[in-house]
Amino acid sequence: MQDHVKTVLKNDSQADLGCGTLVVNLFAGLAEVAGTRQIHLDWKSGTAEVLRIQLGQICPSIVKLLSLSAIAIEHEVVDDTMLVCEGAEVNVFPPVSGG
Amino acid sequence: MKPFHSNARVACVRGPIDAVSYVHNPVDISVGARVLFVGTTRGTTGGVVTHALEYEAHEAAAVHHLNGLASRALNRWSLSECVIVHRLGRVPVGEASVVVCVSAGHRAEAFAAVEWLMERVKDSVPIWKCEESSDGQRRWIHPEGGRMTPANSQEEWS
């Protein structure tokens, strides 16, 4: 799975496709540290791991909490090898504390 | 994805929870035990005086995951009913933040289900609490053990 995704990434990169926008929603302490509830990224396609790296570069203050957080596409948390497509609803869930 | 269990009743609400109202179920002759758990805002934590808790959620995702948990509990312990209600927003000390109510044939299953459900609510539902101390300081609670994973997020309720 991981090898396949990496191959797709490489091919996408070589194809030089145009970028779209990805809106990433932040919650709770993550939003507080970032100073915003949404980050807009230029994005075409890449894994959740690549997204995690880009978010940290754009907003260095969240790197520590981001490393403990989960990336979700809509409701479902995804593995870092999962491909994130342009236009997806991306949510970054810091460690949860309900109850 | 399987549909949620028809006897799962979950909600996120923004006002006080009338916990006892969830115990008044229709008569079901297979039920021998109903367990009601009410989680409330504690006034002190580790010597720090808490003024209130504020809860935030990705509400649609929280309801989705609560439905999944309730469905799994219904199947695993053969429950007749499973209710989970979580309050969002500011919850003053002493008031209910979460209510879980299950109905089962016997108390052992009912207690076990409630214990399991509360553990999962704390580690696999996108809800977060912020402690507001009596001196006005606010602190989000993000325990390392609270990281959601694909496994605890997507387990089937079979």
- Give the count of domains, chain B: 1
pLDDT at res. A68: 96
> At CB < 8 Å, which residues of chain A contact B?
25, 27-29, 32, 65, 68-70, 72, 74-79, 91, 93-99
Q: Tell whether A99 is covered by a domain.
A: no
In whole angstroms, give the CA distance from residue B27 to residue B18. Answer: 20
- Give the count of domains, chain A: 1
* CATH number of the domain enclosing A15: 3.10.20.30
Q: Which two tokens stand for residue A1?
A: 């799975």
Q: Which of B118, B122, B140 sits opposite A29 (nearest CB)?
A: B140
- Tell me what the mean pLDDT of segment A5-15 comes to: 36
Q: Give the pTM.
A: 0.88
* CATH number of the domain enclosing B69: 3.90.1170.40
Q: Which of A2-6, A19-23, B43-47, B84-88 has the highest mean pLDDT?
A: B84-88
pLDDT by residue (tens digit) across B123-135? 999 999 999 998 8
B87 phi/psi in degrees, rounded to 5 = -90, 140
Q: Which two tokens stand for residue A9?
A: 């990434």
Instruction: Note whether B24 contacts A: Cβ–Cβ < 8 A.
Output: no
Residues 105-134 in B contacting A (C-alpha not used; CB under 8 Å):
118, 121-130
Q: Which domain holds residue A24?
A: 2-93
| List of chain A residues whose C-beta atoms are within 8 Å of the C-beta of residue B153 | 70, 72, 76-77
Cβ-defined contact of A72 to B148 (cutoff 8 Å): yes
Q: Which two tokens stand for residue B1?
A: 């994805």
pLDDT at res. A13: 39
Instruction: Note whether B11 contacts A: Cβ–Cβ < 8 A.
Output: no
pLDDT by residue (tens digit) across B140-150? 999 987 789 88
List strands edge to edge, sheet with B96-104: B8-13, B81-87, B96-104, B33-40
For B61, the 3-state DSSP assignment is: helix
Contact yes or no for A10/B121 (Cβ under 8 A): no
For an interface test with A, which of B56, B117, B140 has the most A Cβ atoms less than 10 Å from its Cβ?
A: B140
Q: Tell whether B84 is covered by a domain.
A: yes
Q: Over 50: is that where the pLDDT of A7 sits?
A: no
Give the chain B residue whose CA is nearest to the CA of A26: B58
Q: Which of A27, A68, A99 sits opposite B58 (nearest CB)?
A: A27
Q: Which two tokens stand for residue B157?
A: 């309720």
Q: Tell whether A98 is covered by a domain.
A: no
Q: Which two tokens stand for residue B119?
A: 């553990």
Q: Over 80: is that where the pLDDT of A8 sits?
A: no
Q: Which domain holds residue B105?
A: 8-17+29-142
Match 């995690």 to its residue by tokens: A52
Query: Nearest-CA neighbor of B107 among B38, B27, B31?
Result: B31
Q: Tell whether A74 is covered by a domain.
A: yes
Listed in sequence order, the residues at least 6 apart from A81 whose beta carbon sits closer than 8 Å to its beta carbon are A1, A2, A5, A47, A48, A49
Contact yes or no for A42/A19 (Cβ under 8 A): yes
Q: B59-76 vs B107-124: helix axis angle to the nearest 10?
A: 150
Listed in sequence order, the residues at least 6 apart from B111 whose beta carbon sits closer than 8 Å to its beta carbon are B35
